[in-house]
């Protein structure tokens, strides 16, 4: 079979992706479930300070000696912690909606506390592969940085350009465009999950709140919206695990900065880890994707709708 490559450019940034334009059979058999469950950095490593929470969520604070990130040391005023949902090994796709809500609610509480303490650059993310070993626990990491993350800068820039040129938020327009289209995965009361036009990873998807308030961030959403976020997150991550045999993935939050001059439309991006970087990506910043977003949205959408139906009790 010939692999027809199409060059796609991201909605706003300079990111270019070569995607397959035909629907070839992607190799789904990439299971990571055979990985030794005893190799767990949280269960086995005493360098993490685990703080037990009354609501049964656990919070891990990194000791100061682990504050080195790359070339700089984060000073003592910085903050890093990990919140995990269960003491036992359980991925996101197996959490109850209540537990996921509790986890997200606690992440929001920590996030709000850091905002009140005037940290400007607060990042929230989750790795299914944690630091130098495996984590089999659903978790979120929260970290403060002494600089603006480059991808956030780019999104702020495109927001500013769009406001200046067209007077509207670029992502509000994209949400309109993607709603009900071939790249939609799932839509709930407050959120839309879709595969982006130019996905840098196979099966990458984004979750956006449908409404946009000034200072848009995960810190500003209400309790009923966190419930709705739990539903769309649990459905899509459950769909990802059932369709692709529990792949590793990274999940990141992009929020507006805790600053008047750092507005974006906040959202979540999920990057399944199914392929390796090649020379084009490492050396030229050109990504290559073996499956197009229409096809991956079709596969993930079907699996996510099934999860949603099970969660809300519809057969
Ligand atoms: Zn463990
Ligand atoms: Zn917007
Ligand atoms: Zn983003």
Reported as a single tens digit per residue, the pLDDT across 233-246 is: 999 999 999 999 88
CA of 168 to the centre of ligand 2 (A): 8
Tell me: pLDDT of 33 over 60.
no
**Measuring CA to CA, which residue among 105, 89, 95, 56 is closest to residue 311?**
95
Q: What is the pLDDT of residue 11?
A: 85
**pLDDT value, residue 74:** 54
Grade residue 96 by pLDDT with cuts at 50, 70 and 90: very high
Quote the mean pLDDT of the chain. 85
Three-state secondary structure call for residue 236 = helix
Percent of residues, the chain, with pLDDT higher than 90: 54
pLDDT of residue 97: 95
Is the separation of the CB atoms in 84 and 60 below 8 Å? yes
Ligand 1 (single-atom ion) residues, CB below 5 Å: 40, 42-43
User: What's the whole-number mean pLDDT along residues 285-305?
Assistant: 93
> For residue 133, is pLDDT > 50?
no
Residue 315 has pLDDT above 60, yes or no: no
Ligand 2 is an ion; its neighbours by CB within 5 Å are: 169, 171-172, 212, 265
Least distant ligand from the CA of 214 = 2
Task: Express each pLDDT in 137-190 by its tens digit.
Answer: 888 989 898 889 999 999 999 999 999 999 999 999 999 999 999 999 999 999
Q: How far is the CA of 58 from the centre of ligand 1 (A)?
A: 12
What does DSSP assign to residue 118?
A: T
| pTM of structure | 0.90
**Residues surrounding ion ligand 3 at CB below 5 Å:** 254
How far does Cα 62 stand from its chain's mean position?
22
Per-residue pLDDT averaged across 35-46, rounded? 68
Asked whether residue 63 carries a pLDDT value surpassing 80, the answer given is no
Flag whether pLDDT at 32 surpasses 70. Answer: no
CA of 256 to the centre of ligand 1 (A): 32
Question: H/E element holding 162?
Answer: helix 150-166
Centre of ligand 1 to C-alpha 272, Å, is 21
Q: Would you state the pLDDT for residue 84?
A: 86
Homologous superfamily (CATH) for 37-312: HIT-like (3.30.428.10)
Please report, for the chain, the start and end positions of each structural domain, with discontinuous segments joined by +: 37-312
Would you state the structure tokens that stand for residue 258, as one six-digit string?
């805790």
Name the band, by pLDDT with cuts 50, 70 and 90, for residue 206: very high
Which two three-digit tokens encode residue 61? 């604070």
Distance, CA 122 to ligand 1 centroid (Å)? 26
């Amino acid at each position: 079979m010939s692999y027809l490559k199409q060059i796609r450019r991201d909605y706003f940034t300079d990111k270019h992706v070569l995607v397959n334009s035909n629907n070839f059979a992607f190799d789904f058999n990439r299971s990571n479930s055979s990985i030794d469950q005893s190799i767990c950095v949280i269960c086995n490593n005493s360098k993490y300070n685990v703080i037990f929470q009354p609501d049964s969520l656990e919070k891990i604070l990194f000791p100061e000696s682990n504050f080195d990130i790359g070339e700089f040391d984060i000073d003592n005023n910085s903050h890093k912690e990990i919140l995990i949902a269960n003491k036992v090994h359980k991925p996101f796709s197996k959490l109850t909606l209540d537990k996921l809500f509790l986890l997200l609610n606690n992440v929001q509480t920590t996030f709000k506390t850091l905002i009140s303490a005037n940290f400007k650059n607060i990042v929230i993310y989750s790795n299914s592969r944690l630091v130098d070993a495996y984590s089999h626990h659903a978790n979120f990491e929260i970290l403060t940085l002494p600089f603006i993350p480059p991808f956030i800068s780019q999104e702020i820039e495109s927001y500013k350009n769009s406001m200046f040129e067209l007077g509207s938020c670029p992502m509000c327009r994209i949400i309109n465009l993607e709603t009900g289209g071939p790249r939609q995965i799932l839509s709930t009361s407050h959120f839309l999950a879709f595969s982006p036009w130019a996905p840098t990873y196979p099966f990458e998807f984004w979750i956006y709140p449908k409404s946009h308030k000034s200072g848009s961030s995960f810190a500003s959403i209400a309790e009923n919206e966190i419930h709705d976020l739990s539903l769309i997150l649990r459905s899509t991550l459950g769909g990802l695990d059932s369709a692709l045999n529990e792949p590793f993935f990274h999940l990141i939050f992009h929020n507006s900065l805790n600053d008047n001059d750092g507005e974006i439309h906040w959202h979540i991006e999920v990057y399944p880890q199914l392929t390796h970087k090649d020379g084009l990506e490492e050396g030229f910043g050109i990504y290559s994707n073996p499956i197009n977003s229409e096809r991956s949205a079709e596969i993930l959408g079907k699996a996510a709708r099934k999860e949603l139906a099970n969660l809300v009790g519809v057969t």
